[in-house]
């Protein structure tokens, strides 16, 4: 059937409209495709060319700035300094030997340095940068930058390196940082990628090590364009790093410096503690060392000198050193007996210079004996026989339990390296450790702080703080993290009978303030700052019966390593305790002669906030003390070292 002309016209119109619509759509698509192709081929040509040539783009980590450490008053004690260095990326170098040889003409680079760099490059991924040299001068780094076009794969960089402005004062507290080693990485289950940065510094000891994750911060990254010659052309993108947390310690820099200076050349240690909140105000270990040497890479001769020094400067004696506490432990035995109702303060024991046990005689330090001794006088004159007899009544289990209440045999929670727990022995302990039964003689030795008993200077300070307050004071070293205060550790009451605690305190007061007190020579003349304390002398050798018949050899006549350790613990002011102190002088002889004078100076410095005034000392001692203070290398709190210390 033939279609009418009208139908044909209508059909043609519809077809025309559809064609126009389709044509418009196709044209639009073509325009979009064309615009997109132009965008990809023209506008983003460089980027896609670089992406196609993957070896031309590197992603490098940006090391974070390590968190700074401050003392309790805001003085910087661990910071960062500028460090100019040169790195090399093996994947960007065709002839490593030539590039390193050319670089050696511009900066100090020995054949040994080059060999070390090549060895490091062989161990690392070709894409990872390796540090060729660091701590360069501005002139050296400028030379490298100017000649960069002819040094493919070589990049001059600016970084940060750790700096300890107070040097020896904080070496044992802060510890030090050093480059990440393979051994360090082997101890970490999932190493942070930032640890792959060449010579990235991490904490090796002390606070630097214990707070490493917080101090380290988080790495950033940057994309860089490298041309065919290995030269960095430009930076394509960057995500900034996040610096580490800032840390504030409880240590007072002025007091810390005074403590280190007062210990001097002795092989000794001291702890000063705030008994009201547990804050460690000074933690001194002598001799010390400059931690900056480790940051920069200590030389073999310097390290061997420290390692072979018989005074052990690398050890933090305040927490790592364990010593027989000697007579400072007598308060433990006395308080155990009082709390258990075994003795009364007025009850006396006759000291004839020794106590007899079947097959053995235990001697008092005073050969002729002390005569009749009550509790107070036994502490004041440090009568050994009194405590031998006490041990027979109290027994080792109760003494050990009291020791633990007072802070012994506990690894206290402070972020320092190798915090030792010490020993408060029991019968079970000896059987497990030595496979032997406990004997009565062991208890007698323990009562005077000898035998198996071992304690650190930190534990002795904790004991003293608890005796001064009756509270479970715990040491605190970190005052704040990123501005947020950490809880104080003054502690709750230990539940001692106040009258029993008062008896111990009165005995300690008599030690330093009454005639025949073993530390009367170290008394404080100003009654507002009076100190109570206890001397201790711990033997490091056995005295034979033959030597006793001939006369015991004086410490000063013995080789240094065979002399007794000297100890002292104390607190002040007596009427309102604020500070506790412990001092241990290795092989120093008697506690009254070697340790007590140091402790007096330290606890006075704590109370006065610096060098004590001469008026605090007995008049007869002032000239000698003034002369000694003038010779001490003291630093201003936030300033440079004294002239004689600058090098």
Estimate to the nearest angstrom the gap between the alpha carbon of 105 and the chain centroid.
42
Q: Which of 569, 69, 494, 504 is nearest to 273 (CA)?
A: 569
Structure tokens at 270: 């001291």
Cα dihedral sign, 407-410-412-417: positive
Beta strands in 243-370 (DSSP E): 247-249, 268-274, 280-286, 349-351, 354-357, 360-363
| Separation of alpha carbons 579 and 577, rounded Å | 6
Q: Which of 410, 417, 353 is nearest to 175 (CA)?
A: 417
Provide DSSP, 335-385: HHHHHTTS--TT--EEE-SEEEETTEEEE-SSTT--EEE-HHHHHHTT-HH
Q: Which of 211, 283, 281, 287 is nearest to 456 (CA)?
A: 283
| Separation of alpha carbons 273 and 275, rounded Å | 6
Q: What count of residues does the chain have?
A: 647
Q: Which of 218, 312, 254 is nearest to 77 (CA)?
A: 254
Structure tokens at 153: 């794969």
| Separation of alpha carbons 162 and 291, rounded Å | 10
| Active-site residue, from 285, 327, 382, 538 | 327
H-helix or E-strand containing 317?
A: none
**Which three-class secondary structure state does DSSP give residue 67?**
coil
Q: Which of 590, 633, 625, 585 is nearest to 604 (CA)?
A: 625
- Whether 327 is a known active-site residue: answer yes
Structure tokens at 18: 């559809």
Q: Which residues contact 537 (CB under 8 A, 6 or more apart)?
A: 326, 327, 365, 564, 565, 566, 567, 589, 590, 591
Beta strands in 66-217 (DSSP E): 69-70, 76-89, 129-136, 154-163, 177-179, 201-203
Q: What are phi and psi of 533, to 5 degrees?
A: -165, -170
**Which three-class secondary structure state does DSSP give residue 458?**
helix
Catalytic residue numbers read 327
């Amino acid at each position: 059937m033939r279609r009418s002309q009208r139908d044909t016209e209508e059909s043609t119109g519809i077809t025309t409209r559809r064609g126009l619509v389709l044509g418009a759509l196709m044209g639009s698509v073509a325009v979009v495709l064309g615009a997109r192709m132009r965008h990809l081929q023209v506008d983003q040509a460089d980027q896609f060319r670089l992406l196609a040539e993957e070896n031309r783009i590197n992603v490098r980590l940006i090391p974070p700035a390590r968190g700074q450490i401050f003392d309790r008053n805001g003085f910087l004690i661990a910071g960062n300094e500028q460090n100019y260095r040169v790195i090399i990326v093996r994947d960007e170098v065709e002839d490593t030997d030539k590039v390193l040889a050319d670089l050696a003409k511009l900066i100090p680079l020995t054949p040994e340095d080059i060999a070390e760099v090549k060895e490091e490059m062989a161990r690392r991924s070709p894409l990872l940068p390796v540090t060729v040299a660091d701590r360069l001068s501005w002139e050296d780094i400028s030379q490298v930058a100017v000649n960069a076009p002819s040094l493919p794969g070589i990049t001059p960089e600016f970084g940060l390196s750790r700096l300890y402005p107070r040097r020896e004062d904080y070496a044992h507290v802060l510890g030090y940082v050093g480059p990440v080693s393979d051994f360090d990485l082997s101890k970490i289950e999932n190493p942070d990628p930032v640890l792959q940065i060449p010579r990235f510094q991490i904490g090796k000891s002390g606070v630097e090590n214990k707070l490493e994750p917080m101090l380290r911060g988080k790495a950033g990254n940057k994309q860089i364009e490298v041309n065919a010659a290995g030269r960095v052309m430009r930076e394509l993108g960057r995500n900034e790093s996040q610096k580490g947390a800032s840390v504030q310690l409880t240590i007072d820099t002025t007091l810390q410096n005074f403590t280190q200076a007062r210990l001097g050349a002795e092989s000794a240690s001291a702890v000063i503690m705030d008994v009201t909140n547990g804050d460690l105000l000074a933690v001194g270990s002598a001799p010390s060392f400059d931690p900056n040497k480790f940051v920069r890479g200590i030389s073999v001769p310097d390290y061997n000198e420290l390692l072979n020094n018989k005074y052990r400067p690398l050890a933090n004696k305040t927490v790592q050193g364990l010593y027989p506490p000697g007579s400072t432990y007598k308060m433990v035995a006395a308080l155990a007996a009082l709390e258990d109702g075994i003795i009364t303060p007025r009850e006396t024991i006759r000291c004839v210079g020794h106590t007899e046990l079947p097959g053995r005689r235990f001697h008092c330090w005073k050969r002729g004996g002390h005569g009749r001794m009550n509790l107070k006088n036994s502490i004041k004159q440090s009568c050994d026989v009194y405590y031998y007899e006490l041990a027979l009544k109290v027994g080792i289990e109760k003494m050990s339990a009291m020791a633990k209440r007072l802070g012994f045999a506990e690894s206290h929670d402070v972020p320092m390296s190798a915090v030792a727990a010490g020993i408060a022995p029991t019968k079970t302990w000896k059987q497990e450790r030595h496979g032997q039964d406990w004997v009565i003689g062991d208890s007698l030795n323990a009562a005077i702080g000898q035998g198996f008993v071992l304690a650190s200077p930190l534990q002795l300070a904790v004991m003293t703080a608890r005796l001064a307050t009756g509270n479970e004071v715990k040491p605190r070293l970190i005052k704040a993290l990123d501005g947020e205060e950490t809880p104080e550790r003054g502690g709750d009451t230990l539940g001692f009978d106040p009258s029993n605690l008062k008896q111990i305190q009165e005995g300690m007061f008599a030690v330093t303030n009454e005639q025949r007190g073993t530390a009367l020579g170290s008394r404080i003349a100003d009654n507002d700052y009076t100190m109570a304390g206890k001397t201790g002398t711990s033997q490091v050798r056995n005295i034979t019966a033959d030597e006793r018949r001939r006369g015991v050899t004086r410490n000063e006549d013995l080789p240094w390593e065979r002399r007794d350790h000297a100890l002292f613990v104390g607190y002040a002011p007596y009427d309102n305790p604020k500070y506790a102190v412990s001092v241990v002088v290795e092989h120093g002889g008697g506690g009254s002669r070697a340790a007590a004078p140091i402790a007096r100076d330290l606890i006075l410095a704590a109370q006065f906030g610096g060098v004590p005034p001469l008026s605090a000392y007995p008049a007869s001692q002032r000239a000698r003390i003034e002369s000694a203070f003038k010779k001490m290398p003291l630093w201003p709190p936030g300033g440079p070292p004294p002239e004689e210390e600058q090098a």
